[in-house]
Amino acid sequence: MLTRIIIKSQPYGLSLVLVLVWVAVALGGGFQITVETPSSTDPELKGAVLVVRTFGCYQPTDAALSGTAEGLVNGRRQSMPIQLTPTSKGIYAIKQQWPAQGVWVLAITGTYRGLTSSALVELGPNGKVQAATGKGSGLPVQIVSRKLSAGEIEAALKNLASKVNQKTRASAK
């Protein structure tokens, strides 16, 4: 009788395996962008302050990328599109296109086959790229698997402005 139960459950086991394989294939086509500082030895990245790379299954090099510089200058909110220059497949250079005054974040979004990946990068004094502080290393960047909300961008700007004000007050003492 035990043999009979095993034989009857085999079609269900096979069905379960097929469903799990199908789900893994269907969900396996991920997409992500990363933001990093450029290599100083790459001539194609000369003058770039940041590099955006696309990663994922299939052809992530076909992704559509866009970005904006979001800032607070003398208490006034500013927003401007930034140019992402393709340098090779899936690699885009960003040169500084925003003013040195005020505080700035970059909001970069990539889309590919219905998938979205976004990055929010905090810039340092004079609109320059800064290294992250605290745990880990690299840039102060937040990567999410969706489009950034206006509220997230606004909160990041206010937080950055607060940090700058605290540093200014501390250095004035």
pLDDT digits 0-9 by tens, 41-61 = 888 888 999 999 998 877 777
Separation between Cα atoms, residue 9 and residue 162, nearest integer Å: 63
pLDDT mean over 120-142:
78
Residue 5, pLDDT above cutoff 90: no
Inter-residue contact 100 to 127 (CB < 8 Å): yes
Structure tokens at 154: 């606004």
Residue 171, pLDDT above cutoff 80: no
Separation between Cα atoms, residue 28 and residue 15, nearest integer Å: 20
**What does CATH list as the number for 30-172?**
2.60.40
Return the residue matching tokens 């998938």: 115
pLDDT digits 0-9 by tens, 8-36 = 545 555 555 555 545 544 555 689 999 99
pLDDT mean over 64-79:
95
The chain-wide mean pLDDT, for the chain, equals 82
Residue 80, pLDDT above cutoff 60: yes
The pLDDT value recorded for residue 57 is 78
H-run or E-run covering 172: helix 150-172
- pTM of structure: 0.77
Separation between Cα atoms, residue 60 and residue 50, nearest integer Å: 19
The pLDDT value recorded for residue 111 is 94
Confidence of residue 1 (pLDDT cuts 50, 70, 90): low
Return the residue matching tokens 């097929």: 18
Domain ranges (residues) in the chain: 30-172
